[in-house]
Amino acid sequence: MLGSYFVFFTLLGILQVVFPDLDILKYQQSDLNELMDKNPWKFVLLAVIIAPVMEEGMFRTLIKPSPNEFIFFLCSWILMLTAIFIPIDVHWAIKFGFLLLFITLIYFFLKELIPREIQFKACSFLRRNYISIWVITSIIFGLVHISNYVDGFHINFLLFLMIVPRIIAGFYFGKVKIENKSMAWPIAMHAMNNATVLVFLLPKLF
């Protein structure tokens, strides 16, 4: 993955030399930068723990899933939609605590609600089409991160360049899931990927 990053950023540098008017810095992750300045510990918690667990639950759980991973996929998306309706002025620790309790209850509820036959059929379909699922979820994983740069959703050449590293990461997180047959590995790899970026931001964080 690091090698792919190196190739991408080398090509990006060449592209900027060939097209000097290409404004690579046009889009900034302003919301994340603001959070990093105001509450660095919350930023670290989000980047290294919550985001890896939730984002892997939303995407990599569909790649050759077990029934438990399929339920985790549903829980992750329900949790993401629920978080939208929590008032913004609620303290972040209370919010995360509530969401943790909520996802736990939803997990056991769905596990009992959805018949085992349906769970196994869904997993069987996803396993047969795992290569397509792998590619599609990697691309969607990248597209979701457009919201880091702009409000709402729109795409152009520069924004696409911004999310290419996320697509690359999504591809390798999926590869790790396939090869190790466990969600623990892509979550750990995702956390290490984010933590590596934080290492370079430590002087700014603290």
| 50 part of a folded domain | yes
| 64 part of a folded domain | yes
The per-residue pLDDT for 121 is 96
Average pLDDT, the chain: 89
| 51 part of a folded domain | yes
> E strands of the chain, at which residues?
none
Quick: pLDDT tens for 178-202. Answer: 999 999 999 999 999 988 877 776 6
Place of tokens 């667990």: 53
Identity of the residue numbered 141: F
Number of domains into which the chain is organized: 1
Quick: pLDDT tens for 66-85. Answer: 999 999 999 999 999 888 88
Per the CB < 8 A criterion, the answer to whether 168 and 4 are in contact is yes
Place of tokens 């939609």: 81
| 18 part of a folded domain | no
pTM for this structure?
A: 0.89
Residue (of 16, 22, 60, 29) closest to 204 by Cα position: 29
| 169 part of a folded domain | yes
C-alpha atoms less than 13 angstroms from C-alpha of 128 in its C-beta half-sphere: 5
| 31 part of a folded domain | yes
Q: Which domain holds residue 47?
A: 2-13+23-205
